[in-house]
Every structure is written in structure tokens, then in C-alpha cells.
Structure 1
Amino acid sequence: MGAVITKFFEYGQAEIDYLGSMDPVLGAAMARMGKVERIIIPDLFTALIYAIVGQLISVKAVRTIWTRMQARFGEITPQQLAIHTADEIQGCGMTMKKAVCIHDISNLVAQDDFKLEELYGLSDQEVIQRLMKLKGIGKWTAEMMLINCMERPDVVSWGDIAIRRGMMKLYGLDTLNKEQFEQYRLRYSPLGSVASIYLWEISFQ
């Protein structure tokens, strides 16, 4: 990740015990796997740009592009990215559509037209609505911000294919509809984010 400040999503035995008591199948998987660490990016702007770069591409591809961006622009700040063109941003290996979104959002934040720090005072739903007003940010990207940056405790994203795949593997399902998903999500609440961390891991096993 280069110079980006990262940390682990904070949770401990109390959260693991609670989820295990609510869902013994998940509990057994968690006991088998031990503590799963999830790296997050606490800085809102950095995390948002990282999330946009990461849309629909592999983790490995994201890291390659991110390394190029750091080599080209130095620190990933709104001011830095706003002074470069979308073409220059695209030159790091992403689609033009993403590059334009990143350039536009950098400008909005640099000019104080979009105040990222205001998100801290909002509910999960309000954060999602506010972020979705930005070009190129859909619900999934907003939900990833809630977990991978803001450490909100109760996020399980229907829009995340790996989460759905993890759920299907965990419960031995061939298909998963929205209704079933919601039942599991409510079972994990108010600690859905920790369940998500394990479901991601299960999906890649």
C-alpha cells in the first residue's frame, strides 16, 4: 500500500462470541478459522479513491494501479489529484470512466464542495445516500466505505458477490435470494461487519 496509513478493523472475542451464539454455523467456521484480520484505510479520501479503483477488478490489479498512482502523484490527496488531468490518472492503468470520476471527486473535495468529514455524523443509510450523489459511486462502493474505512459495525452488502458466495458456501446453498440474505443479515445484526469479514474469507477458501 505504500505510504497509505492502514490499520486492522477492530473487533475481538466479544463480537466473535455474540455472532457464534446467534449463528452456530458461522460460530463453528469462526472457531475453525481463528481471528481474521481485515485491513482498512482510515482516511476517508484515500479510502474512497481506493474503492473506486477497486470496482470490478481483482485485488492484485488494484495494488498495481495504486502503486503506479503513488509513483506518479506522490501522496494521494484531493489537491494532488485535482491538479492532474483525467488522462494522466487513466495512464495509471484504469478505465477512463474511473479516471474521470476520481478527477471530479478530487476537485469537489479540494474545493470544499463535498465535505467528507461530515459523513462521520451520519447514519449508515445517510452515508450511503450522500456518497451515491457522487459520480461513479454506487451502493456497493458506499457500503465498502462503511466497512473498509469508517469501521461501521453492521454492514453486510447484498451487492458484494464474494459475500453472497461466502454465505452460500457456509450454509451449503446452491442459490441465495434476497429474502434469505436478509434473514442472515438480521441474524448477524448489530455485528454484521464482523460476519462480513469472515464471509469474505470463506468465499476465497
Structure 2
Amino acid sequence: MSDNYFEYGETEMQYLKSVCPSLSEVIDRYGVIKRKITPNVYIALVDTVVGQLLSSKAARTIYGRLETLAGKVTPEKVNKLSVEQLRGCGLSYRKAETIKDITSKVLSKELDLEGLENLSDQQVVKELSSIKGIGEWSAEMIMLFSLQRKDVLSYKDLAIHRGICRLYGLESIEKEAFEECRKRFSPYNSIASIYLWQLSHE
């Protein structure tokens, strides 16, 4: 299966460069950054739950076991698995329960994943974070890396904090200053996030 990447280009990059000279330097340094996305929202939700509080390597291993066990990660396939079978993949009881809960809500149409496209960012966060085990940060990551919403800057993401601090030479950033960054980068906060994550790993 071919990889999918977050779509953006010159329009977004030039806008961000125009509103922030510091970010302009970062954009010039890295050019277009390819960030993988998962267009299938159900898979993205399961993957997000699997990866919570784990290294990416451990998360990939567990997801791979789940994929092998299910044959394919779909609501119909996962629904046939018990919590104990999910735990056998290396998932905690809480994560296994969350995945079963998401699966049953999708199959019963209580959670309309296709309908998320028609909701505002705030409504998407509210809808997804109503699921036990999916918090605001997880919902924002789904918006960014599955729905490809372009105006997401997660206050709860520590790497984003680190990236902003490195961008402006700060020790830490308070909520008010963070919101100023959000206003500055809007309507392309997601693209700014991609560069801030890259900067945070320098």
C-alpha cells in the first residue's frame, strides 16, 4: 500500500513565512516535509490508542500483532476479537476496552466517522473525546493526521511546546503566549505544527 502524506505547498508555506520570520528560516531549511497520514479514520483511532504512552517501535510491534490476528484492521474484523485476544497482542486492559468500545460505536453508527468531515474542528474534538480513552490530544492528532485539517496546534503536545521554545529562544511558553502563536499561524497551524515537530527534534 502506498504511503499518504499531509498535503500542503507554496500557499501555506509562503503565508507562514510572511507572518513569522523565525519560522521562515525553518521552512527554508527543511523545505516541504513529508508527514505520513492515515486517511482511514477507524485505523487512525485504533493506531492512536495503541500508541498512547509507548515508543513508536513498541506501538508498531503491537499494531502489527493486531493486524496479524485480525487479518485486517476493520470494525467488522476487530469486533470478532475478545478483549483477552486484544490483550494477547500486548495491549493493556484499558486500551483493549477502548478499541472494543470504538469498534462497537462505529458498527452501531453511534460514532459516524464519515460524518466527521462535515463537523467543525471544535465539534470533531468534542465528538472524538467523548469516547473513553480518547482525549483532546488524541482527537487533535486524528484531525491532523487522518482528516488533514489545516488549522490544528495542540497545546497538550509537549513536542510542539519544545518546538515553539526553540523557535523563539524561550525556556517555556505560557498559555497566553501559545494562543498568540495560534492566532499568528492560523489558518495554517497544522503546517506550522509539522515544522515545529521537526524543530523539536534538532
Q: Normalising by structure 1, report the TM-score.
A: 0.95
Equivalent of 1:17, from 11, 14, 17?
Answer: 14
**Structure 2 SS opposite 1:130:** helix
Is 2:161–2:172's contact at 8 Å kept on the other side of the alignment? no
**Structure 1 SS opposite 2:193:** helix
Is 1:153–1:191's contact at 8 Å kept on the other side of the alignment? yes
Which blocks of at least 5 consecutive residues in structure 1 are unaligned? none
Is 2:86–2:96's contact at 8 Å kept on the other side of the alignment? yes
Identity %: 43
**Structure 1 SS opposite 2:151:** coil
Which blocks of at least 5 consecutive residues in structure 2 are unaligned? none
Equivalent of 2:70, from 56, 70, 73?
Answer: 73
Structure 1, 143-152 or 54-63: larger mean CA deviation: 54-63
1:94 paired with 2:91, answer yes
Q: CA RMSD in A?
A: 1.2
Is 1:155–1:196's contact at 8 Å kept on the other side of the alignment? yes
Question: Matched residues in 1 for 2:103 and 2:70: separation?
Answer: 13
1:136 paired with 2:148, answer no
1:181 paired with 2:170, answer no
1:30 paired with 2:22, answer no
**Residue 75 of structure 1, CA deviation:** 0.8
Equivalent of 2:193, from 184, 193, 196?
Answer: 196
Aligned residues: 202
1:108 paired with 2:105, answer yes
| Residues 45-83 of structure 1 deviation map (CA, whole Å, 9 limit, x = unaligned) | 111111111222222222111111111111101111111
Is 1:41–1:47's contact at 8 Å kept on the other side of the alignment? yes
Structure 1, 186-195 or 129-138: larger mean CA deviation: 129-138
